[in-house]
Amino acid sequence: MSATTDPDLPAWSLTREAICAVPLPSAWPEPLSRGWAWGDSRGEGVRVAVIDSGIDAGHPRLGGAVRRAVHVGRAADGRLAVTEDDAGDVSGHGTACAGIIHSVAPACELTSVRVLGAGLTGEGDALLAGLRWAVQERHDVVNLSLSTTKASFLGALHELADAAYFGSCALVASAHNMPVDSYPWRFSSVLSVASHSGTDPLQYFYNPQPPVEFHARGLDVEVAWAGGSVIRASGNSFAAPHVAGIAALVLARHPGLTPFQLKSVLHLAASNVATSEPGR
């Protein structure tokens, strides 16, 4: 809804004529169950960007779900550029995250945005450029199993997180594995995720004591790795894609949900919140 042009009202206020447009129809049930939240959804039509070390698109656990791959790197003139990428995964980490998302939402479309190198290190500017590209390309969900501790990137990263939030792009970010301040997972506009030790990929918990908002499976997880291999790994990096996959299930079932609405649904459908009715 656009801001008012009435000089007698503060900026962003509603005019008397606009008030009639405020009521919104709602089909949300009371109480909300998992059956309503995603039911038999497979993530159809939902585009998920994985900002990481790349994705091994030919890995058997990905089933051809990777529709596009780009790389953020320095051009000959030293400037950052986003270019098409055929290098796959230079580490294995991105493939692991993509494989988890695909296992939860097998019909969603994956995009690889490679910003990390073989040692899982990268430039903060590359992270910003990759995230900006993913948001501008209007991905529905962006998985960020990474973060930065450098305060110099905080302002720009916060602006991007807000742009995503208001642009209907849900950012799902893993908390740092160490008790340090890092971003973007600490931003309130982001769906922040840490691990729990359970084995059910659809079991996740809402945390009433932020900054971490959700806990999902992330310990001793069998994950896809580069070169078609499979390993067992632990970390918050592998909890975030479980929530990203569940988010894809919800968005496929209920297209058009804003990040605010999506977060509300995920809260109400969490394992420690949802009702025990059929379809949970």
Q: Which pLDDT band, with edges at 50, 70 and 90, does 239 fall under?
A: very high
Residue 7 confidence (pLDDT) above 90 = no
Burial class of 120 by CB neighbour count within 10 A (0 to 12, 13 to 18, 19+) = middle
Mean pLDDT of 172-189: 97
**Is residue 86 domain-resident?**
yes
Residue 279 confidence (pLDDT) above 60 = no
Mean pLDDT of 242-270: 97
Predicted pLDDT at 18? 79
Residue 205 confidence (pLDDT) above 70 = yes
Cis peptide before 60 (omega within 30 of 0): no
Q: Indicate if the alpha-carbon torsion angle 259, 221, 100, 160 is positive or negative.
A: positive
**What percentage of the chain carries pLDDT values higher than 90?**
84
**Is residue 15 domain-resident?**
no
Predicted pLDDT at 5? 64
User: Which tens digits make up the pLDDT trace of 40-95?
Assistant: 999 999 999 999 999 999 999 999 999 999 999 998 898 999 999 999 999 999 99
**Is residue 16 domain-resident?**
no
Predicted pLDDT at 277? 47
Of 115-124, 231-240, 260-269, the poorest mean pLDDT is in: 115-124
**166 or 11, higher pLDDT:** 166
The CATH number that applies at residue 114 is 3.40.50.200
**Is residue 32 domain-resident?**
no
Rounded to whole angstroms, the Cα distance separating 240 from 147 reads 12
Q: What are phi and psi of 130, to 5 degrees?
A: -65, -40
Rounded to whole angstroms, the Cα distance separating 212 from 137 reads 27
User: Which tens digits make up the pLDDT trace of 8-39?
Assistant: 889 888 887 777 776 666 778 888 999 999 99
User: Which tens digits make up the pLDDT trace of 115-162?
Assistant: 999 999 999 999 999 999 999 999 999 999 999 999 999 999 999 999
Q: Which pLDDT band, with edges at 50, 70 and 90, does 193 fall under?
A: very high
**Is residue 26 domain-resident?**
no
Predicted pLDDT at 4? 55
**Is residue 5 domain-resident?**
no
- Dump the DSSP string for the chain: -PPP--TTS-TTPPPTTTGGG--------SS--HHHHTTT---TT-EEEEEES---TT-TTTTT-EEEEEEEEE-TTS-EEEEE--S--SSSHHHHHHHHHHHHSTTSEEEEEE---TTS---HHHHHHHHHHHHHTT-SEEEE---B--GGGHHHHHHHHHHHHHTT-EEEEEPPSSSS--BTTTSTTSEEEEEES---TT-EEE-SSSS--EEEE-SSEEEE-GGG-EEEE-SGGGTHHHHHHHHHHHHHHSTT--HHHHHHHHHHTSTTTS--STT-
Mean pLDDT of 194-214: 97
**What percentage of the chain carries pLDDT values higher than 70?**
95
**Is residue 180 domain-resident?**
yes
| Displacement of CA 270 from its chain's centroid (Å) | 16
What total of structural domains would you count in the chain? Answer: 1
Range of the domain at 77: 41-268
Question: What are the residues whose beta carbons fall under 8 Å from the beta carbon of 93, sequence distance 6 or more?
Answer: 52, 53, 116, 120, 145, 237
Rounded to whole angstroms, the Cα distance separating 166 from 78 reads 32
**Is residue 7 domain-resident?**
no
Amino acid (one-letter) located at 190? V
Q: What is the mean pLDDT of the chain?
A: 93
